[in-house]
Every structure is written in structure tokens, then in C-alpha cells.
Structure 1
């Protein structure tokens, strides 16, 4: 008799196993893997395919990623134990297996379970894991590896004194059979015919119009793009969307999504000796009637890029909402691209360069045609147009990002452009957008040095000659004592909650903690003070982990009608509106 348990992330001997390996069933037949791990080529090929489909988004065999790296696990762990652990890990946790409990407490990250792996599948995966054993690598530069910073930012985040009063305004429809059931990811508002319309999308392939508390399907990309995939999960699928500033007249909007490797020739590719896990695709959609409640019209592909891994893809596309007709930035589309896991996979040269697509902020004219493929334009005021470096990619506006999660502009104040970047092991960062800037990855993580050829999970103090490196550093940051992955937000400029005016509100994806910084304190060369916000639901002080009943909250933010602030959580698919605040703001922490 099968029994299904609460989804849990399970670890063994330093190894986090993907949720797809957590086959939630009992083992009445006492199935066991043979002590001798097979070397059969067919089984190895099967294991590699299963690993790439289900596990590669979280793990590799070189560096710790979302979960620990997997090289050498079959030598550290008995194959029979490993087999039973994969088949029924939650039961081993419940029974108090010391290794499982200890490592589960160390790495707390939600992973959805799958029930598609039989005993042969598990044996094949173990066989494939066995082919990867640890290898020594030399450091790429002169770094004293004995001076690892165990706690890069020892100062703790102080409380702001404020709690956001939030009210639930909607529940996203389920688009999956297993948690997370609704992978809602981005919310924005546009105006058509004088009316504000809110849209929110699910990574599993649906863009909704949010009408009061109803999610109305606006575009189902699965029906329009037969090659669409949302595997291996996390940030893959329908990545982002943006409406052209003249949508009310032209009916044009844009999306990004993922497709299998080799679906079509890539506009941005690398050496064919390096594996391609998937492709990210940017598309333009033109509606027959911009006021229609459901998409009907045509679409075309603008560009396509290969990715080494299934992580750190195209996190955001956006137009500058402050740009008016006639401004150079009007109608220019920004696209934030992660490194695709290239550094983790051992290919740091693929990213961190103005000569490459990956790990950059791209800026294009989607209505133009002077690109190499002729399907979009390259703005002539991009920083590397007519560059002295003939190899510079003219689409690049800024570079040196690991995983740029969100872009936003302060609608008041001095109209800062803010970029949040999800870090590796130590630092979550907020940057000011600067044309032509190098933000340092994979030689820097936040305002700290790392070694891309060594253990990139170690942070080091900046070298004495760092001023010669011309890196642009964060204007605010926090380390992994406080959270795991930054969720980019917005500067509040609404009227409903004046106490929040001028505060950039953001949070942590995993823990669900809410933070804020004063927008006027975000300056290059300085570190603004990050403070924590609480939340209240129905008059009770609580947390998003408590509200969602989940250790991985998957926190997101959006701006709705009349510039009001929304918070939503992929863990339970709920959308919340900030309606008030409680408490008194502490202006300075002492």
C-alpha cells in the first residue's frame, strides 16, 4: 500500500537528492540494489538521461549548487543504503537515520516529489553517479585559500519595527499534480482603454489576467508552442513576460520560455563539445484585439540561446516604465540572463564577459532588425556598440551576473534602476543598473572574491589592488546567515500605505523573510542598511513559512493597480495584498 508524505528535501552523505528521486512509497518487497554497481553501457545511458531530466537543475559533479555536488557519493555511501534511501527517504528521516537527519537540517530546500522511478531507474541513476568521482583542480589565481571568510557579513539584519498587514486576494489554479501545484512567478499591471489590468503568470505555461480574485487564462503557451517544456523545474518554463509600452495600440507583448536542446538553431551558442541542457526562447506576440480577454493573434521568435544547465536562465524581461515616447530608452526591452550554471559545471569562460550572452543584462529594440538574425534591433546607444573590442556583444548592456532575478525602476525619487542577483553560497545582492558595468561573477560574489576554478562556495576578502579591477559592487547585500536566495521587489510609491513610501521592499525566496532598504540610501560605493519587515494576517503576527506551512516559501512580489504592493508565494499559489502597516519604523539601528 502506497503512502504519500509531505514533500521534503532529503540529503545523504552531503548529497541532496532531487525531488524526482523521492519515490514516495513503502517497500513491502524489500527491494535492494546489488552491492556491485553495474557498468552496463545501456544502464549508464539510462541513468544519465534520468539525471539530466530530473536532477541536473539542483546538482552537478563539481560544485555545490542548490544542493551539494554529487561526485564520490557511491564511494562514501553503501549502494544498498543509497538505493533504499532514494526509494523511501522520508521514512528514513522519520526513523531518525543520523546521516539523513543531520544533512536535512543543514540543507533546507523544498523539492517536489515524483513517482515515476522504478527500481531499475534508481539503479541506473546510482550507476551513473558512480562514474563521477572527485578530481583535484588548481586555483585560477593567487588566492590564499586558508583565509576563507566563514561569516562574510557578521552584522545581523535588524528589525524595522514595521509589520505589513496583508490580505489574501486570490488563489492560483493548480497546473501540476505534485507540489508546487501553481508556480506563480511575476505580476504586473498595464492600462488599456483607461482601465488597469493585472497579469500574473505560472512557470508551467499559463499567463493569467487577474480579475479581482479570479485567475482568467489569457495565454496558454503550451498550446501555442508544442516544444515548450517546464523541466527540470525551478525557474524553467514560462520565464517572464512584458507588455510593449504601446500595447494598447499595437497589441504586442513578449515572453520567454524553455524548449529542449536542439529544437532549433541557437542564436547564442558555445562550443559543441559542451553539453546543452535546454534552450531559452524570446517571443513576440501580436493580438488581434488588445482589449480582448484571451489571446488571439500571431507570434514570432526573436532569439534563442543554449544553456549548459537548467538553472540560472532568463529570469526577467522588462521595459523601462519611466521612458516616454521620444526617450532613447522608450520601447527598449531589457532581458536578464543567468550564467546557465556554466560556472558550476566548470565553464566559467562562458559567462562574466561582455563578449558572451550568458550572465548579462541584454538590451534590444524588439521592433528593429539590425541584429545578426534580423529579427530585432540593437540600440545604437548600447555601451558596446562601436566598442574598441571587436568581439564585444553589442546586445549587452551590463554583465557579470550569476542569476539576475528581477529588474525594477523606482517610479519616484531619482528613478534608480535596481537589479537583484541571486548568489551562490554566500551573498544576495542589490545592484544599481549602470550601462557597461561589470558586476563580477564568476570572480566576485557580491562585494567578496571567489575562485571560479576552486571551491566557489568559499568567499574571500577583496584584494588590495581591487580598485584596478573596475567591478561594480552591490549597494545592499546580505549573507546566508539571513537567507538563501534574494527575491527582487519594488520601491513603494503607492498611496494606500504612506509609511512605506520610498522603501525598496524585497525578500528571500526560500525563507520568505521580508526586508526593506531606503531607496535614497542606495548609492554606488556604499552599503545601505537592510532591515526586516514582519507580516500580520487577521491581526496575528506571523511568517510566510507559517502561513504556507512550508520550509521553502518561494516568495515573489508585484505592483498592482494604483501602484499598490502584492506578495505571492509559489509554495501555496496564493496572492496577498499589502493593505496597511503596524508598528513604528526604526530609522537607525544601534
Structure 2
């Protein structure tokens, strides 16, 4: 079953009722199945659709769900899950409050009524009262609105043209889980590729998307669920692609698929594995295919969220530079914070919550299939520093989903937020970016609800603050992009282009050399009419991604239906 419900507010919308009502427990909580088989199946559905962002007893990216069946009657919950838009159109007060708070309407996913029954049966079987959410303890200041200033408009419009629609790989939303689009120069031509997390790799051209690789035909243990990021999420072309023809991919497999290079601690069970592979692109019968693969690295994950993220090479490094040919790998916390295993992230000798840098041409790494760059902060048993893995370049990330470089060599990493703040970080080798003890510039008490953040006490922070932080009344889940250095859109020159995954809003910011940068919103137009990405894909969740071709020209993507729009023009506009 396609994993999508969690961060598209399946349970977040339901659990918001906890904040909007009280005193109903005596009237609710009846009519749920107590059959063990139903509860087991409901647990499996919950794991696939909800667990990436929700826990029962603690707040995560969405609220705790333990009390939901005690706070609202079963009929309302069923009607909401089955058709949230219909409930909203009926004038339901709670549905309207949900839309005002979250800014999107949950799509109708087509879950069978009996599946909804089983999810609710599981939640009711695991019901528990919710602890008090708001408190001030030990004189600390609880921050309820971390960034009160609203984002301004940039006064720039983007005119979008539909370029391609990738074939549907699922009968349910998201239809085609396109996650990364990137171009590569190949002789006299520029080529463009996109990956679908359900396991498909396409080249985009005049004849439409042409299949290059289907992961499940090569890897029998390949999985694309549960979790929003599970599957085939990223790829990168070697900087010497024109001569070497090498392509690198990452994908997910079952937790027990193979012997991993980096394992969860003894006694814990891996839920997923992620692997990086090297391929050679060849031409057969006028079509491109990938041959190989050679596995470089395999990592276990303790839970189903925040797995391995983008693969990337520094596009401005040239042969002879120390950074040339080195592969950067974003690795999330593996969902460790959701299950109260922050030790796995804080420990510098463990791989989770880190940005890695490895050399695909070397052999002194853990697997023997990659090398350790000499400039990595923990390489060669560096003295004067805490212990750390030699693969690590920087640490303290929750979900470092994309990377971008400036022409001056600055590296920026977008880190998807938890409950309060989305971040863009300028990455310095060896630096700590704070997760899980910090979200944005605010502290988290790991003994308490992770939803609650506190103002710092004024002491110097041991971590690096973000260049941009945006709170969740503006966007949820930052869709990292790139610094525009193309030629067709001079209004965007030198600006970082990015967006919000759920809402589909698109922004720019001047981040080069800045300690703090202001994000401003761009307006989107199709055929001369202002619109939103959610309207364009006709679902509540936009599922935005931003990519670029080999010339650095931008494209806007939606995982919801596999649409890819070319940014045809950027122009000044008056509000």
C-alpha cells in the first residue's frame, strides 16, 4: 500500500481534535473492534501510513495519537478519513479549523471502509490519555510561535509550462513518487533524468519519459514502503560522466535483506536498509540502460522514517580540487527520535543524523568499496576532536534531504523539521547542527514532549544556527532546491530557490555569505492565471520537489501525480 497518509495529515488532522475539544471521553470510545486479527492488521496499516510522523504517546511531526478515539466519535473519524473534502464542504466546524491550522486539505485516498475500521481499532486498542501539553518548568520560556513574522512576497512571478507527466506507479496518491530531477552534460547534448521512489528511473526527452532502470528487477528485496522517503529516492552522476559513464543511486530494502556495513545496535531490529550502488550507463538499441551494480555502502535503519536522502557531488569542484569526485550522502535519524532513541543520533561514532562524504574511487572505507577523504574531520584518527566516524562530514541533522552549492564553494543542506521549524543550514566541515537537542535556534528537552521548544538561555550555543528558519504556520517540510546560476531567468540569478513540500509554495532567498537570510515567496502562473501547486495537481497535498537541468534551469515537480513543469519565465509583478 502506498505510504502517504502520515504527513498528509491522515492522523495529524484527526489528532488536532485533541487541541480543539475536551470533555468528550465519556461519550466517545465505543464501537471499535476488539478482534486481535483486526488490531494486528490495523497496526500494519498504521505503520505504513502514519508511523513516519506520529507516535501514540509523544508528539512528533504530528500530535500524539493515543487519545484520538476518546476525543471524537467513531462516525466522525470514519467520515473524515474517507472523504475530508466532503466533510469540509458540509461546513463541519472542526474540518474548517483543521484547514485553517494546516493550510491544506487531506486528499481522499480510497482506503476501504474495513481498512479504516482496522486502523481505528488499533488506535483504540492502544488508547491512552494525553499529558498536559503546555508547561513552563525551571524558569524556561516555552516558545509557541518561533517565527512570528509572516513571509513576504518577492514581487516575482514564475510562469510554468507542463513539460512531462511521469507514468503512474500506484493506483493511490501519490501516483508517481518523483523525488529528484537532475541533468547531466553528455558530449554535445544535455540529458535530463528523474527517479520515482516506487523504483523507476526515467530519461526525459521529446518522446516523453523513457525507462532506464526498474529497481525491483535487480534487487528482489527492494521496498518502497512504509514511510514517505522509502524506495528509490536519489541518484547522482559522476563529475567525469562523459568519460566514465558512472551513475550512483540509493534505494531501500527490507531490514533483513543483507549483511549491512552499519548496523543498528545489538538487540535492536532493523526496519529498513539503504544501499548506495555504482552503475555504468550504456546504450542498447537506441535506449539507455544501467549495468552493474557495484554496492558501495549499506546502512540499517531502526525505524521507517528519515532514511538515506540525497546523493550529490559538488558541481563546482574541478579535477585537482580536494572535493572533486567525492560523493556526499545525507543520512537521516532513521526515526530514532520518534522511538526515544536519540542516543543513536547524538553518538558521533554512529552513522545516523549525519552528512557523509566518501570517495567512490577508494577502498579504505568500511566495506572496502569506497574510500575515506583525507579532509573529513574524523579521518585518520584526527586528534583534538571527539571520536567520530571517518565517513562523517558534519552532524546533527534530522532529515538532511537536499544539498546545494554556491559557485564560491559554500554548501547548503535543507533539513526537514520536526514539530516547529524548517531549516536551511550552511555546512562547515565537522560542525554540529544540533538535532535532536535543538530545532532551529531553540532547545528541546528530550525528557519532555518534543513538540515543546524553549528559548536559549543566552549562553553561547555549541551548534551552528541555520541560515534560514521558517516555522510551520508557513510551510511544513522544506523542499530543498539550488542556487540559480542559469541564464534564462536573470531575476533569480544567485538566489536559492526552494519550497514547501506539503503546500507547494515556492520561495527565494539570498543565502550566499549570509548569517541569516530572508525567504520571500514567488507567485506561480500557468497560462497567465495565478494558481497554486495544490490546484495544479488537484489534490490537497502538493508534494513539491524542485530540480534543475544540466544548464541549471529549474523545474517544479509534484509527486502527487508525476507532473513536471518547466519554469519558462520569471517576471516582476505587482501585488
The answer for the alignment partner of 1:186 in structure 2 is 180
**Structure 2 matches for 1:50-449, cutoff 5 A?**
50-77=45-72, 98-99=93-94, 102-103=97-98, 105-107=100-102, 119=114, 122-123=117-118, 126-127=121-122, 129-131=124-126, 133=128, 144=138, 147-212=141-206, 214-289=208-283, 293-385=287-379, 386-388=381-383, 391-410=387-406, 412=407, 414-449=408-443
Please give the alpha-carbon distance, in whole angstroms, between the structure 2 residues aligned to 1:505 and 1:244.
24
Change (3 A) 1:111 1:551: closer
Moved more, 443-452 or 104-113: 104-113
Change (3 A) 1:137 1:267: farther
Work out whether residues 281 and 288 of structure 2, in 8 Å CA contact, stay in contact via their aligned partners in 1.
no
Change (3 A) 1:483 1:395: same
Please give the alpha-carbon distance, in whole angstroms, between the structure 2 residues aligned to 1:71 and 1:204.
31
Matched, 1:15 2:52: no
Please give the alpha-carbon distance, in whole angstroms, between the structure 1 residues aligned to 2:417 and 2:455.
16
Give the paired residue count: 555
The answer for the alignment partner of 1:455 in structure 2 is 449
The answer for the alignment partner of 2:560 in structure 1 is 571
Change (3 A) 1:244 1:145: farther
Please give the alpha-carbon distance, in whole angstroms, between the structure 2 residues aligned to 1:68 and 1:279.
27
Q: Could you give the per-residue CA deviations for residues 73-104 of structure 1, whole angstroms, max 9, x where no partner exists? A: 34444567656766676665565555555446
Change (3 A) 1:367 1:135: farther
Q: TM-score, normalised by structure 1?
A: 0.85
Please give the alpha-carbon distance, in whole angstroms, between the structure 2 residues aligned to 1:461 and 1:12.
26
Change (3 A) 1:379 1:157: same
Moved more, 572-581 or 290-299: 290-299
Shift of 1:561: 3.9
Q: Could you give the per-residue CA deviations for residues 216-248 of structure 1, whole angstroms, max 9, x where no partner exists? A: 111111211121111124211111001112222
Please give the alpha-carbon distance, in whole angstroms, between the structure 1 residues aligned to 2:244 and 2:200.
22
Q: Give the SS at the match of 2:181.
A: strand
Shift of 1:474: 0.8
Moved more, 303-312 or 421-430: 303-312
The answer for the alignment partner of 1:22 in structure 2 is none
Q: Could you give the per-residue CA deviations for residues 359-387 of structure 1, whole angstroms, max 9, x where no partner exists? A: 11011112222122222211122111113
The answer for the alignment partner of 2:533 in structure 1 is 544
RMSD: 3.2
Please give the alpha-carbon distance, in whole angstroms, between the structure 1 residues aligned to 2:448 and 2:463.
20
Please give the alpha-carbon distance, in whole angstroms, between the structure 1 residues aligned to 2:52 and 2:425.
26
Please give the alpha-carbon distance, in whole angstroms, between the structure 1 residues aligned to 2:130 and 2:9.
27
Matched, 1:535 2:535: no
**Structure 2 matches for 1:20-59, cutoff 5 A?**
35=31, 38=34, 40=36, 43-59=38-54
Change (3 A) 1:265 1:115: farther
Shift of 1:121: 7.8
Shift of 1:401: 0.6
Please give the alpha-carbon distance, in whole angstroms, between the structure 1 residues aligned to 2:58 and 2:108.
23
Q: Give the SS at the match of 1:558.
A: strand
Shift of 1:582: 2.0
Q: Give the SS at the match of 2:497.
A: strand
Q: Could you give the per-residue CA deviations for residues 518-557 of structure 1, whole angstroms, max 9, x where no partner exists? A: 243x43xx21122111122222233223323333211111
Shift of 1:212: 3.5
Unaligned runs of 5+ in 1: 1-6, 18-32
Please give the alpha-carbon distance, in whole angstroms, between the structure 1 residues aligned to 2:11 and 2:39.
23
Please give the alpha-carbon distance, in whole angstroms, between the structure 1 residues aligned to 2:484 and 2:372.
32
Work out whether residues 162 and 582 of structure 1, in 8 Å CA contact, stay in contact via their aligned partners in 2.
yes
Please give the alpha-carbon distance, in whole angstroms, between the structure 2 residues aligned to 1:551 and 1:120.
21
Q: Could you give the per-residue CA deviations for residues 256-293 of structure 1, whole angstroms, max 9, x where no partner exists? A: 11112211122222234444322222112133559963
Q: Give the SS at the match of 1:488.
A: strand
Please give the alpha-carbon distance, in whole angstroms, between the structure 2 residues aligned to 1:492 and 1:58.
32
Shift of 1:516: 0.9
Please give the alpha-carbon distance, in whole angstroms, between the structure 2 residues aligned to 1:247 and 1:292.
19
Work out whether residues 187 and 559 of structure 1, in 8 Å CA contact, stay in contact via their aligned partners in 2.
yes
Please give the alpha-carbon distance, in whole angstroms, between the structure 2 residues aligned to 1:392 and 1:237.
28
Please give the alpha-carbon distance, in whole angstroms, between the structure 2 residues aligned to 1:550 and 1:216.
26
1:486 to 478, 490, 496: 478
Moved more, 438-447 or 68-77: 68-77
Q: Give the SS at the match of 1:294.
A: strand
Please give the alpha-carbon distance, in whole angstroms, between the structure 2 residues aligned to 1:532 and 1:49.
39
Shift of 1:471: 0.5
Work out whether residues 140 and 454 of structure 2, in 8 Å CA contact, stay in contact via their aligned partners in 1.
no
